[in-house]
Amino acid sequence: MLKQFLSVFLESHCAFCDRTTANTICQYCSQKLVSYQLVKNDWLKLHSNLSVFAWGKYDGQLKRAIALMKYDHKPEIGSVLGKLLGQAWLNSGLIDLHQKLTVVPIPLHRKKLIERGFNQAEIIAKSFCQLTGYRLNSQTLIRVRETKAMFDLKNAESRIKNLQGAFEIKAKLPKHPVLLIDDIYTTGTTIRESIKVLQDKKIQVIGVAVAAKAGISN
């Protein structure tokens, strides 16, 4: 009787629909989420020689997952996305899996980190590293200046100006090439500024891996 009573409080509920489930996301919602995975997870060669590896398209259930994670305080969704991204990376055959890489999440400003309670890119990066075996480095790249939300800025010039001087290198430099991790890739302004700051310190950056990429189809 006591066991049955306690089980009511110990049950886990789906982060999307609140159904009882043994996992972070129930089977039904998980299937909906996976339907937004790209058929071919490949390096997307973008302008300025920037390479992006995206797990899925920023739409539907994946878009909702990221919103729930960031704005409804559900960091456990980030762990799920990191595992999905890591598995897709391992299955892609795009890189020598024996190559040593350092994974660097795109940082939040200290004020935003306190408000949210976690950095979603770091949550994704942690589970990505657990699966891939890469080393996580969350100390080297830091955000020293608070910036406006990028979706509030309507043109490339204002987005670039918004991020100038926002990032700095503070800790010991990584010995191995860097793979940046973020939740969403939209215009790429944040990623390019991060890469510039790292490369100014002679740090090799091979590209960025993200849970979702906006503006692409499956």
Residue 68 domain-assigned? yes
Those residues whose C-beta lies under 8 Å from the C-beta of residue 8, and which sit 6 or more positions away, are none
Query: What digits encode the pLDDT tens for the residues 14-57?
Result: 999 989 988 899 999 999 999 999 987 777 776 566 789 999 99
The reported pLDDT for the residue numbered 44 is: 76
Torsion of Cα atoms, 92 then 95 then 100 then 104, to 10° = -70
Residue 136 domain-assigned? yes
Domains identified in the chain, total number? 2
Model confidence at 166: pLDDT above 90: no
Residue 6: burial class (beta carbons within 10 Å; 0-12, 13-18, 19+) = exposed
Q: Can you give the residue range of the structural domain that contains 90?
A: 39-213
Query: What digits encode the pLDDT tens for the residues 175-194?
Result: 899 999 999 998 888 898 99
* Pick from 85, 177, 184: nearest CA to 127: 85
Q: Are residues 111 and 155 in the same domain?
A: yes
Q: Are residues 85 and 150 in the same domain?
A: yes
Confidence bin at 120 (pLDDT 50/70/90): very high
Residue 218 domain-assigned? no
Q: What is the pTM of this model?
A: 0.87
- Mean of per-residue pLDDT scores for the chain: 86
